[in-house]
Chains A and B, each alone.
Chain A
Amino acid sequence: MADVVFTPNLQRHVECPRREAAGATVREVLDAVFADNPRLRGYVVDERGALRKHMSVFIDGRQISDRERLSDPVESRSEIYVMQALSGG
């Protein structure tokens, strides 16, 4: 099970505490989380399933490379951070 952490900035809009979720890719892990928290999906990905433009995801400290299909592999003990990129004012 991967350990999934969401940016604190999201908590104001949708409650999404740190949790464990299973999956071999970022997509599978996030889908497992969204299955329990459907409103969270639209805040992280758009209707195509692509990561929103100003969001970023790190697996064990590395930024993912596939922002469209979220196919980057996840290890069973991986730590996944769903963060917001710095932008705006």
Chain B
Amino acid sequence: MTQPTLLISTRKGLFIAEGSGKDARITRSAFIGDNVALTLADRRDGAWYAALDHGHFGVKLHRSADRGETWTEIAVPAYPPKPEGFVDKDMWGREREWATKNIWALEIAPDADGGLWCGTLPGGLFRSEDHGASWSLVEALWNHPTRVKWNGGGADHAAIHSICVDPRDPRCVVVAVSSGGVWRTRDGGASWTSHTVGMKAGYVPPEQAELPEFQDPHRVVQCPSAPEVFWCQHHMGIWRSTDDLASWQQIEVQPSSFGFVVAVHPRDPDTAWFIPAHSDQKRTPITGEIVVTRTRDGGKHFEILRDGLPQRLAYDLVLRHALSLADDGNHLAFGSSTGNLWVTDDQGEHWHTLSHHLPPIYAVRYA
């Protein structure tokens, strides 16, 4: 990959950057003024998808067949009516509305030509068979007895934010929920099992700390070339699984294990990147220094990467979808809630500023 294309989703529009390392430039935009939650670039047919949150006018999905030059509105996932008498209240005792509040995950479903998976707030997973022309709720997960205990982590509503489709079997899919744990189906969504053994929550009474539905994974990724290996940036720190989710092991990292993002190298399950923040109480870089942490040995050791990143008076937060690693394993990009965007073409050894004045960045993704 010599000329990667980066899709940048922000509070005030979608921006498209092209080029590598210090030569990367923002060249185009779309949806200026609109809140863009995230994007998907479908390598099968070249289509791009953008999830928009219009606030007043609701959540919308758009599709582009010409790499962002023109967009067409497509269907948005819609929840079925709540059954009469069904009790479904959130942690504040408010009746949970069965209505799409936002989109926090969008991935391809390789077992069908137009197959897509979509993770939403307040916690529903949806499936499309027709490139997003229609969607259906994955009822087995939504109707799981623990689902009513899922709650807001990064937002007021529970959110499916990570969808990992197993490269060995497209019917095998892992989803992660803030806050609602890690779930896997092996039959395309018909049944689901929990996979949080080893994780611990510090925001519930101790006897409930290991309950699957109270785990708050901020982001989960699976290594494409070693799919039995998963990395998780959890609310309580960093965890890794090397036994295909039978268990998770916690890993301590300096200067902090708190954060929202994680990326794993596509061909090396021991190489992963994180962006640390100062504890869940503050959620800022440590002492005003923006750094990236990288391990090359499965978490035994971490390097702190800072070349080209602000090292004083920086208070950027990198949200969970705002770090992307290109398929070549060398290009990374991350954007912050204060509109700064950095890229590297050498796995993070040197970072280059792509912009200091974008709107708040929600997501970045290499097309």
Contact = CB atoms under 8 A, between A and B. Distances in A.
Interface stretch (A17-25, A29-37, A46-54, A73-81): A46-54
Chain B interface main SS type: loop
Contacts of A87: 55-56
B57 A10 contact: yes
Interface string B92-131: 0000011110000000000000000000000000000000
A48 B56 contact: no
Interface string B69-84: 0000100101101000
A48 to B, nearest CB: 6
Nearest to A55: B56
A21 to B, nearest CB: 20
Interface string A40-63: 001110111010101100000000
Nearest to B98: A48
B255 interface: no
A48 B55 contact: no
A66 to B, nearest CB: 16
A46 to B, nearest CB: 4
A69 interface: no
Contacts of B60: 13, 42
B54 interface: yes
Nearest to A56: B56
A87 B57 CA distance: 12
A55 B73 CA distance: 21
B97 A48 contact: yes
Nearest to B100: A47
Residue among B56, B78, B97, B100 with the highest chain A CB neighbour number at 10 A: B56
Contacts of B78: 47
Interface string B23-67: 000000000000000000000000000000011111010000000
Given A39-B73, A47-B78, A47-B79, A9 B56 contact: yes
Q: How many A residues are at the interface, by size bracket?
A: 10 to 19
Contacts of A54: 55-56
Contacts of A55: 56-57
Q: Which of A44, A48, A55 has the most CB of B within 10 A?
A: A48
A47 B99 CA distance: 6
A39 B54 CA distance: 14
Contact of A43 (B58, B79, B81): B58
B56 A50 contact: no
Contact of A13 (B54, B76, B100): B54
B57 A46 contact: no
B231 to A, nearest CB: 35
Contacts of A46: 58, 97, 99-100
Given A39-B73, A47-B79, A52 B57 contact: yes
A43 B54 contact: yes
Given A47-B78, A47-B79, A85 B56 contact: yes
A28 to B, nearest CB: 19
Query: In the complex, which of the residues B58, B78, B98, B99 has the most CB atoms of chain A within 10 Å of its own CB atom?
Result: B58
Interface of B: 54-58, 60, 73, 76, 78-79, 81, 97-100
24 contacts: A9-B56, A39-B73, A43-B54, A43-B57, A43-B58, A46-B58, A46-B100, A47-B78, A47-B79, A47-B98, A47-B99, A47-B100, A48-B79, A48-B81, A48-B97, A48-B99, A52-B56, A52-B58, A54-B56, A55-B56, A55-B57, A84-B57, A87-B55, A88-B55
